[in-house]
Structure 1
Amino acid sequence: MRVLLVEDDDRLAGALTTALARHGHEVERARLAVDALRLAGGVDFVLLDLGLPDMDGLEALRRVRRVSVVPIIVVTARTGERDVLRGLRSGADDYLVKPFRTAELMARMEAVARRGTRPLPVRDQVVAVGDVRIDLETRRVTVAGRPVPLTRREFDVLALLAREPGVVRSREEILDAVWGDPLLAASRSLDVHVAGLRAKTSRPGLVETLRGTGYRLGRLAAPGPGPDPGDGGPEGSGAP
């Protein structure tokens, strides 16, 4: 496989490059996140350190995931539970803490490769579900052609589900991505925002709840009556 090694430590990068080459892999190394973003689309696998000099590795991971399904294993010294959760929720296929044995890395790479690729993220800026239109670029939502004002977080929750329709997002994943804290799982805030989405769009099936699992974008069939244009709510999608 063609492996992109994103690591700014020369000594570790050299050792990993030698080990990977010994197992038949072709290695390309990047020291900076900006180079990783440029090269990730042309490789078969990515090994990503989080402590990069120009950008936090988690942000680089999220940016890659917006456009690519390339397998990614985070290879880092960060050992905290929250760091692991953030890495996996941001799109990593696995999380390996330094120091580690080469044999373990190879085994994990093989396991990730066997799983196959994840669903490709939506590339179109407008996602249609029944008569609901979600414009990811302009942050606008319409139902039957009528604009539906949403709060910033309501839209962020909906956009997260819309980027990969059919993929179930756990409560912790949504809380991490939208609120920035996966440990708020006991909070009712997410339930309130989901209820707000259903009420404002008048489409209860727009966000589907899978008990004990999470949420996903629903599949709306025949459109019902649109929302009352006089009941758009007090906030726009850009409101806090």
Structure 2
Amino acid sequence: MIEDDQRLAAMVATYLGQNGFDVQHSATAAEGLQQLQHASAGESFAIVLLDLMLPDADGLDVCRQIRAFPAPLNTLPIVMLTAKGDPMDRVVGLELGADDYIPKPFEPRELLARLRAVLRRQHTTPATDGHVLRFGRLEIDLDARMIRLDDQDKPVTSYQFNLLAAMAERAGRVLSREQLMDAVKGEPLEAFDRSIDVHIGRLRAAIEDDPKQPKRIITVRGAGYVFAKAQDV
């Protein structure tokens, strides 16, 4: 947990500790990033709880830095905590790679439920026989949970991988935002379905040759999205 409010951090750590979590707390961005980078194999982290307003850095910048780390740190789930409740702040956080966003004040039970939901999404592979889906130069490895384009790894968040896998398994079918949220284990990330658009944008940035003219994830105006069956080789 990277949070400068010591009282809040102590409350969260106590509550989560009573529910099976071992919470490591850092009061500054620099300390938190150092703790993540220097964690030993036996002390690896499962999730990051990140405050948006820190004394030495903007939480959005911290999120961006974590996503720029080498694998596997760059796919570590991130849940943002912030006193800002503006929907645009949520969109920016999601665009930078956050997995969820909880405005303050919040109920501890809601925080616990959100953390558990993010962790479930991370450890749940979409229903399949377990194989690699290939679409031209794009490979989606469902077992390793990796995306490769031209044999280069394309890291995305756990939620985004599940979203892409769900679309790829239904290639050629137009899926509405509601259907996509249901397909990812029926656990919508946000209360507003436009969050799907943010994640689609992140996926396009990862797998499209030109994200502004997508050939793999295509928008069907007024209906949703379709993952193209036939793609350029």
Same fold by TM-score greater than 0.5: yes
Residue 75 (str. 1) matches residue 97 (str. 2): no
2:35 alignment partner in structure 1: 39
CA shift, 1:56, in A, is 0.6
CA shift, 1:48, in A, is 0.5
CA shift, 1:128, in A, is 3.3
Preserved contact between residue 69 and residue 120 of structure 1 (Cα < 8 Å):
no
Q: In structure 1, what is the Cα distance between the partners aligned to 2:199 and 2:12? A: 31
1:52 alignment partner in structure 2: 54
Deviation digits for residues 170-191 of structure 1 (CA, Å, limit 9, x no counterpart): 7656889xxxxxxxxxxxxxxx
1:105 alignment partner in structure 2: 111
Q: In structure 1, what is the Cα distance between the partners aligned to 2:198 and 2:122? A: 24
Q: 2:150 aligns with which of 121, 128, 131?
A: 128
User: One-letter code of the match for 1:128?
Assistant: D
Provide the aligned C-alpha RMSD in A.
Answer: 3.8
Deviation digits for residues 29-49 of structure 1 (CA, Å, limit 9, x no counterpart): 111112222223531111110
Identity, in percent, stands at 32
1:24 alignment partner in structure 2: 20
What SS class does the counterpart of residue 84 from structure 1 fall into? Answer: helix
Preserved contact between residue 58 and residue 90 of structure 1 (Cα < 8 Å):
yes
Q: 1:111 to 1:220 in 2, by over 3 A?
A: same
Preserved contact between residue 50 and residue 81 of structure 2 (Cα < 8 Å):
yes
Larger Rg: 1
What SS class does the counterpart of residue 78 from structure 1 fall into? Answer: coil
Structure 2: tracts of 5 or more residues without a match: 38-43, 125-144, 168-194, 203-209
Deviation digits for residues 116-142 of structure 1 (CA, Å, limit 9, x no counterpart): 2595588xxxx637xxxx9xxxxxxxx
Q: In structure 1, what is the Cα distance between the partners aligned to 2:5 and 2:146? A: 32
Deviation digits for residues 55-98 of structure 1 (CA, Å, limit 9, x no counterpart): 11011111112332112111111100100111122111111111
Query: Number of residues paired by the alignment?
Result: 159
Q: In structure 2, what is the Cα distance between the partners aligned to 1:116 and 1:220? A: 30
What TM-score, normalized to structure 2?
0.55
Q: In structure 2, what is the Cα distance between the partners aligned to 1:90 and 1:111? A: 20
Q: In structure 1, what is the Cα distance between the partners aligned to 2:90 and 2:35? A: 24
Q: 1:170 to 1:25 in 2, by over 3 A?
A: closer
2:216 alignment partner in structure 1: 208
Q: 1:13 aligns with which of 9, 12, 21?
A: 9
Within a 5 Å distance, the mapping from 1:220-239 to structure 2 comes to 220-221=232-233
User: One-letter code of the match for 2:4?
Assistant: D
Preserved contact between residue 66 and residue 121 of structure 1 (Cα < 8 Å):
no
Preserved contact between residue 73 and residue 95 of structure 1 (Cα < 8 Å):
yes
What TM-score, normalized to structure 1?
0.54
What SS class does the counterpart of residue 73 from structure 1 fall into? Answer: strand
CA shift, 1:113, in A, is 1.0
What SS class does the counterpart of residue 28 from structure 1 fall into? Answer: coil
1:116 alignment partner in structure 2: 122
Preserved contact between residue 94 and residue 198 of structure 2 (Cα < 8 Å):
no
1:65 alignment partner in structure 2: 67
1:96 alignment partner in structure 2: 102
